[in-house]
Chains A and B, each alone.
Chain A
């Protein structure tokens, strides 16, 4: 019995790092680990189907991700990575 956090509300927490959340959609196999274990419920299944016939994850909102990196490491398929955002000084 899985308890999907897809439907749960995003938890507001202080950001740990300024990152851009990225998913390599066609690598996703739909295991749902990222969605279930994101500590702030920032992820949900997207509507679209990828090449494997599963719904890859997406952020519920742009500022939902706190940059903890859990999804990046817990993804068995290396489908998620967090890119450091350039700071305003660097831009």
Chain B
């Protein structure tokens, strides 16, 4: 049996565009794990793949949209959330997920992130945070740790990074979680929970970038980075996201926010009913 024939027998094959495998990601890249957990979640939930749309941005993780067997849009850099807003509002029956990277979502796309969270548009946003712009060779981004080496910070990064879970919570997201790609079971459960919840949900996933960020910062092999995640990550559900900054000594993971709030779609529907009522009467 050829590798492709074997792959078609993988239990998750029906959620993937198998003819496009093997994927482009490097050995040890966490993006493959994120994809794996994501489609596992779809499988566990029995999601109707004909009513499911994935929107991604530019970056290594952005390629994920092209590997999942559903309607998908690979947008311009930074714009998946805005495009996904259009998709969801125009067809509320679709379940919409955005899968993108730290730079795409929080540098060029930062404005769209905070506003979609503020509006509480119903979508699940998964951010692969590998602390740099990997696809273009390893430039610094909004989550690059202070002092790190990247191609655009050859003397060490002098910018403080974002605390993404804090940002998401502050902007109004109703579900905020952080995991590393080591926490495969918990990440899968988190994705399932998010997909079933209404509103703007955000999951940050810490991911190794062994060929680019890892190499430049002498972090060893991907498996060493994963061992590091094991050593320094602490699961603290309900932790104050404002205090959950990532440091070399500690990564706090878990579910930080899980609240209920009317979604943009729900409020719009309510308003529509009220307007129609008034028009009938008046």
Contact = CB atoms under 8 A, between A and B. Distances in A.
Verify whether A and B have any Cβ pair under 8 Å.
yes
B87 interface: no
Contacts of A30: 27
A36 B10 contact: no
A25 B3 contact: yes
Contacts of B21: 27, 78
Contacts of B36: 72-76, 78
A26 interface: yes
Interface string A68-91: 001011111110011100000000
Q: How large is the interface on B (under 10, 10 to 19, 20 to 34, 35 or more residues)?
A: 35 or more
A64 to B, nearest CB: 20
B226 interface: yes
Interface string A23-51: 01111011111001100000000000001
A15 interface: no
Contact of B3 (A3, A27, A31, A74): A27
B220 A1 contact: yes
Contacts, number: 87
A50 B160 CA distance: 43
B152 to A, nearest CB: 27
Given A73-B36, A73-B37, A76-B31, A33 B222 contact: yes
Interface in B21-37: 21-23, 25-33, 35-37
A78 B185 contact: no
B188 A73 contact: yes
B223 A32 contact: yes
Given A33-B226, A76-B35, 17 more contacts: A1-B224, A2-B220, A26-B3, A30-B27, A33-B223, A36-B227, A73-B188, A74-B33, A74-B181, A74-B184, A75-B32, A76-B31, A76-B181, A77-B22, A78-B7, A78-B10, A83-B11
12 contacts: A2-B227, A29-B26, A29-B27, A30-B27, A73-B36, A74-B181, A75-B36, A76-B29, A76-B32, A78-B32, A81-B11, A83-B11
Interface of A: 1-3, 22, 24-27, 29-33, 36-37, 51, 54, 70, 72-78, 81-83
